[in-house]
Amino acid sequence: MAPDSKEDKDLARTPTRIGVIGCGVISGIYIENAKKLDAIECVAVADTNLEAARFRASQYDVPKACSPEELLADPSIEIVLNLTPHRLHGQVAMQILEAGKHPYTEKPLTVYTEDSKRVLALAAQKGLRVGGAPDTFFGGAWQTARKAIDDGLIGEPIAAMANLHARPSPAAEQGPRPTQTGARATVASAVSFYQTDYFAYGVSAAFDRGPYYLNALIHLLGPAKSVVGSAKKTFDQRMRFGEKLKVNSPSHVAGIIEFANDVTCQFLMTNDVYDTGLPHIEVYGTEGSLRCIDPNNFPGPIYLRKPDSSELVEIKCQHGYNQNSRGVGVADMAVAIRNGRPHRASGEMAAHVVEIINAIHESAADGQRHILSTTCAQPKALPLGLADWTIDD
């Protein structure tokens, strides 16, 4: 329920205190943006490498740098951003829930489907929320695309296509790793799991970049109901920033995703081929087609083609969040908790994404169509006129 008393309204205007566990590369932009989002306040950062936590606290004037255990023991913190390596996401999310706090986890929510279900079950038992990245679908580009579909500009959606060709250039494969600056800078003692585990199951393209595509598609089309998949490991070893890594999982993953509204989507996530400039996401309808941007981004042009023209026409963006706004999903979750409404970057959607990715791999292994056991609500579109760094009630 929305707040109705003066005390409730005052509480609703008080920023929700959040903490961060995991102070690697991605943490910088979250902490930086938390200062811009009125709904949240970052009061503590934690890492098993205390030097990394102290670096982030100093960089962004966060009051406390501490161990994860100390952060979880702080009764004033309501939401904890889980920015740990992929393989730890489920374990840390459970620890956050056991501490009586709401976890918001970087993608993927967990590596395996059953772990996602356990996270949601514990949250339900404790009366807590779960949130999950990515929140790029809050971006102006994706809200523009959603409005175009909702307004009927392409008629009834029939099909979609999603492509990621993510093989780096030979120069990038041979290294060295580029020096990070600004929000992406880290302490010298921090070693990214992307350097050591990139071709492990749960890390490579399908799990690392796939959630951007799937969240965007669910935002545009709603949940999925089944998948058919094909997957292979093209190379036994790969170079990454000058180091030879063993490839432990399929690195070329393709599937057909059938959505609950009967839209079918061709889905390709690969670390094995060089990009040729194919569109990242397109949606095809009975009265037109929509070309979208890389869903790793918030802003960008959205194009419409109508049947009576061979030209792509850019749709004017009337929405905010046209910059890297990572963390807006956390702020939306904070406001939703206070006001008793669903949050958009929900744990149910994050768990649904995990199952879609795993089911494609499982279908590739057994040759069968997989009916999905999870579902989620289609996130509510953002209202027109919403200012940057603000959240609707």
Task: Classify residue 109: in a domain, yes or no.
Answer: yes
In CATH, what number is assigned to the domain containing residue 281? 3.30.360.10
Amino acid at 321: Y
Distance CA 329, CA 341 (A): 14
Burial code of 266-277, b = ≥16 C-beta within 10 A, e = fewer? Answer: ebbbbbbeeeee
Asked if the structure places residue 173 within a domain, the reply is yes
Residue numbers of the chain with a pLDDT score lower than 70: 1-12
| Domain carrying residue 176 | 140-320+347-371
Which CATH number belongs to the domain containing residue 73 in this structure? 3.40.50.720
Using one digit for the tens of pLDDT, what is the confidence trace for 212-243? 999 999 999 999 999 999 999 999 998 888 88
Q: What is the pLDDT of residue 70?
A: 99
Quick one: 108 and 39 in the same domain? yes
The residues that bridge with 105 in the sheet, in sequence order, are 82, 132
Same domain, 162 and 91: no
* 343 C-beta neighbours (distance < 10 Å), count: 25
Return the DSSP state at 177: P
With respect to residue 378, please indicate whether it lies within any of the assigned structural domains. Answer: no
How high is the pLDDT of residue 190?
Answer: 76
Assign 282 to helix, strand or coil. Answer: strand
Residue 16: what pLDDT?
99
Residues 178, 128 share a domain: no
Q: For residue 296, count other CB atoms closer than 10 A to its CB.
A: 15
Is residue 306 a part of any domain in this protein?
yes
Check if the beta carbon of residue 332 is closer than 8 Å to that of residue 138: yes
- Is position 383 within any domain? no
Q: Rounded to whole angstroms, how far apart are CA atoms 359 and 108?
A: 14
Q: Are residues 148 and 26 in the same domain?
A: no
Are 231 and 256 in a shared domain?
A: yes
pLDDT in tens, 4-49: 554 555 555 799 999 999 999 999 999 999 999 999 999 999 999 9
367 assigned to some structural domain: yes
Considering the domain architecture, whether residues 176 and 118 belong to the same structural domain is answered as no
Looking at the structure, tell me whether residues 100 and 162 fall in a common domain.
Answer: no
Whole-number pLDDT of residue 10? 52
- Same domain assignment for residues 164 and 189: yes
Both 165 and 127 in one domain: the answer is no
What is the pLDDT at residue 161?
99
Output the pLDDT for position 6. 46
Amino acid at 364: A
Nearest-angstrom CA–CA distance, 21 and 85 = 11
Q: Verify that 273 and 163 share a domain, yes or no.
A: yes
Among 108, 132, 156, give the residue marking a domain's end. Answer: 132
Same domain for 28 and 175, yes or no, is no
Q: Indicate the residue type of 142.
A: W
- Do 42 and 152 fall within a single domain? no
Among 81, 103, 132, the domain-final residue is 132
Quote the CA–CA distance of 230 and 214 in Å, as a whole number. Answer: 17
Q: Does residue 29 lie within any of the structural domains?
A: yes
Residue in the structure block whose two tokens are 């200062």 = 35
Within a domain: 327: no
Q: Which CB contacts under 8 angstroms, 24+ apart, belong to 240-247?
A: 240/168, 240/173, 240/175, 240/195, 240/198, 240/199, 241/172, 241/173, 241/175, 241/176, 241/177, 241/195, 242/174, 242/175, 242/176, 242/177, 243/175, 243/195, 245/196, 245/198, 245/199, 246/199, 247/199
- Residue 178 CB neighbour total at 10 angstroms: 9
Q: How many domains does the chain have?
A: 2
Burial 64-102 (b: 16+ CB within 10 A, else e): bbbebeebbebeebbbbbbbbbbebbbebbbbbbebebb
**Rg of the chain (C-alpha set):** 21
